[in-house]
Amino acid sequence: MKIKKIVTSLVLSGMVITSLPYNAFASETVDKQIQTYVAQGNLSQPGYDLVGIDSLVAKGYTGKGVKIAVLDTGIASHSDLTIAGGVSTVDYTTSYQDDHGHGTHVAGIIGGKDNNTGITGIAPAAELYAVKVMNQNSEAFNADVIEGIRWAIDHDMDIINMSIGLNNENEEMKEILDEAYSKGILIVASAGNYGNVEATGDNVLYPAKYDSVIAVGAVNDSKIRWSNSATGSKVEVVAPGVNIYSTFLNNQFAKASGTSQAAPFVAGLLALYKEAYPELSNVEIRSLLQQNTEDLGIVGRDTEYGYGLVKIPSLPNQTVETPSENKEEAATKPNEDEVEVKEPSTFTLEFSQESYQVGDLLEINGVATDENGNPLANADVRLNIRGGEKFYLYSVKTNTNGEYHFSLDLSQLRFTATNYVVEATLSHESYEAQQIGSFEIGESQPEITIFQDSNQVTSGENLKASTTVLDENGNPYNGYITVILRNEQGKEVRKNYYLIKNGVYTYNFSTRILATGIYTLEVAPRYIDGVSSSVSFTVSPR
């Protein structure tokens, strides 16, 4: 592959927060001078390997039929893009053509064509809609952004991508985003580029900070947080966002970095989820996104990586329709290749036990055979686990004996005490079947003890402490704990989740960024209400 580099002085001003009256800005890129390219062949996209996109492409998923609104600076005409429609909410033009470059770059990451030239988007067959809410300087009024969201609702969009940042909360914007989410729309936004190397502080921007929005941070090819990627409790997932090639103005391509590039990676991935599981709600698909992540940084959800790096789950093979030159004629002809759906002679669903505790290992086993008793090998078995408002989806395959095995550490996810229903669906060539079973997670009231080396530390030193958690029977507890550090006023200074194994977790808290004073360390099982323990310590001046 050869890439001819064109030296230009195109400048993206999205890094600069403008003064009033504009409220929003495009939060992007490492370099103020963007390098643009003319592609001869495909431009390499390292992020694809990180998230496993090729596995979905091989199965035929392309985002077909999924409607995505790109709220940005517009989308420029480009040989590598198909724009399904759009609108301009800015006052100076009725055109949704991009006059900046940011929106076109974002759009290509989502839906660049799969045509062996330039770049291929995550969901190349998704329907892209250009919703121009920002001007040629990547600035926007809140009112224009709100109008763009309203347009997306009224035009039945499935996904909204907002690589946009606002420093301040806006109640009207929050309300309309909540409305969009309640109507089934998935909303993705860049977390912002105002993080720091130390990963300190809560610097996630709005609208990513709203509960209805998936806040996306950026990592590099080594799965390390990009140093400017925002940190905070609202970071939900991270995605590739460094040196990302995509479409640009004047039918060219550009390489840029930032959470603006990471967010459309997630939007495109959600389109593939929507295509694979059209029956699932946006809440369920969001849960699926959270489950299928590679945990990075501190074990469990954290303020740098959220749930982790988005990954492609194991999905069933897609059925690809072969187009007919004459569909009416084809419809009248008998389908010689039509296969009769059969039920297997045997398809079982069994649990290792009826009742579990948080931290136990859930084990599910089963077997599938055809009408002659022969094993159905390499069959897809989809496990849909539901309980209360929780929803989890997994896929496994049968072995050569027709058996399938699935195990899950219940401390790894947000399982709580309740009854869970499991729907197991088998799919194998002409065989289809379903079994339904259930299991229970019982109430647990563990005992928590916190040990600390000292109740006083000098500013800059580390507070060394450990937590011991035992269940009601005195056995070591396995599961997530929530550790919160509060100041004298009760304000939350730091919050982290840790996976505790064999009942003990030891940690060091750096006091380097803490003011002198009295602090409280609170520890609680993450998914069990009403159980906690705390100790106090003093940070004294040097």
Catalytic positions, written as ranges: 72, 102, 260
Give the residue among 393, 391, 396 at the shortest CA–CA distance from 366: 396
Residues in the chain: 542
For residue 479, which amino acid is it? Answer: G
Token representation of residue 280 = 């699932």
- Using a 10 angstrom Cβ sphere, with 0-12 exposed, 13-18 middle and 19 or more buried, the burial of residue 377 is middle
Q: Give, in degrees to the nearest 5, the angle at Cα 102 between 98 and 103.
A: 55
By three-state DSSP, how is residue 51 classified? helix
Angle between helices 259-276 and 102-111 (to 10 degrees): 30
Separation CA 308–CA 294 (nearest Å): 5
Token representation of residue 119 = 């770049």
By three-state DSSP, how is residue 260 classified? helix
By DSSP bridging, strand 533-540 and strand 517-525 are antiparallel
**Residues 540 and 459 sit within 8 Å (Cβ to Cβ):** yes
Separation CA 252–CA 98 (nearest Å): 13
Separation CA 290–CA 284 (nearest Å): 10
Residue with tokens 């040097």: 542
Separation CA 202–CA 13 (nearest Å): 24
**Residues 180 and 218 sit within 8 Å (Cβ to Cβ):** no
**Residues 421 and 396 sit within 8 Å (Cβ to Cβ):** no
- Using a 10 angstrom Cβ sphere, with 0-12 exposed, 13-18 middle and 19 or more buried, the burial of residue 529 is exposed
Separation CA 167–CA 370 (nearest Å): 60
Separation CA 133–CA 131 (nearest Å): 6
Q: Which residues contact 404 (CB under 8 A, 6 or more apart)?
A: 365, 366, 367, 368, 379, 381, 396, 397, 398
Token representation of residue 170 = 């806006």
**Residues 460 and 508 sit within 8 Å (Cβ to Cβ):** no
**Residues 190 and 216 sit within 8 Å (Cβ to Cβ):** yes
Separation CA 511–CA 518 (nearest Å): 12
**Residues 212 and 178 sit within 8 Å (Cβ to Cβ):** yes
Token representation of residue 202 = 């809560």
